[in-house]
Amino acid sequence: MILRKLVYRSIVLFPLWVNNSEKDMEKDIIPKLGHPDLDDEHKNLLGFAMFCVLTCPHLESSYECYGCTTGKPEECQDGLRNILDHLLPYIQKHFEHEENAMRQVKLDEKDPMHMAIHLSAHNHLFQHFKTIAAELNTDEAGNDMVKKLRKLHDLIMDKLLDHLHMVDTKLIPYLAK
């Protein structure tokens, strides 16, 4: 998948997002909807992929956990739980904000089909994340940690970026201020 190739760029560009520099490079990965709050939330959502890498810096190069980062797989498990504990509420909050923005611009009247598809996509994506989070949030540590963090990282980079590029960008004519 083309968007998956952007994973490396997300890791390299994450500090740039935080510093609000290199805006042209940022647009490559995260298109602007023209709604500053939602645009910031999109950057923050993709930042969760970086948190996966920060939890295990060897995420991109290793397929096994050797305890090389902390020496304690339990700390990696705690890092994963911390990401999951913050990611799901953030996704839910973001979807609520985006849906409220769509209602404010009367998208349900202007383009009811897109509104229905978009709401359905949000529901499907959130349920998918909840299912994966439940699978990942187990007490098992050790060799599975790299695989779990990679799965979450790839889910964020693939599913959220796909949604942003294929669904959210259709909101640009309605949300641009």
Is pLDDT above 50 for 115?
A: yes
pTM: 0.77
DSSP notation for 93-116: HHHHHHHHHHHHTTHHHH-HHHHH
Q: Which residue has the higher pLDDT, 27 or 8?
A: 27
pLDDT of residue 123: 96
Give the long-range contacts of residues 119-123, CB within 8 A, separation 24 or more. 121/163, 121/167, 122/95, 122/98
State how far the Cα of 73 lies from the Cα of 77, in Å rounded to an integer.
6
* Residue 142 structural domain: 3-175
Cβ atoms of 125 and 163 within 8 Å: the answer is yes
Round to whole Å and give the CA distance between 119 and 174.
16
Of the two residues 29 and 48, the one the predictor is more confident about is 48
Q: Quick one: pLDDT band at residue 167, thresholds 50, 70, 90?
A: very high
Tens-digit pLDDT profile for residues 41-89: 999 998 888 888 788 766 666 555 555 555 566 777 788 888 888 999 9
Per-residue pLDDT for 105 more than 80? yes
Which tokens is 146 given? 């790299």
Q: How many domains does the chain have?
A: 1
Query: Residue 89 burial (CB < 10 Å; 0-12/13-18/19+)?
Result: exposed
| pLDDT in the model for residue 16 | 40
Which backbone phi and psi does 137 adopt, to 5 degrees?
A: -85, 65
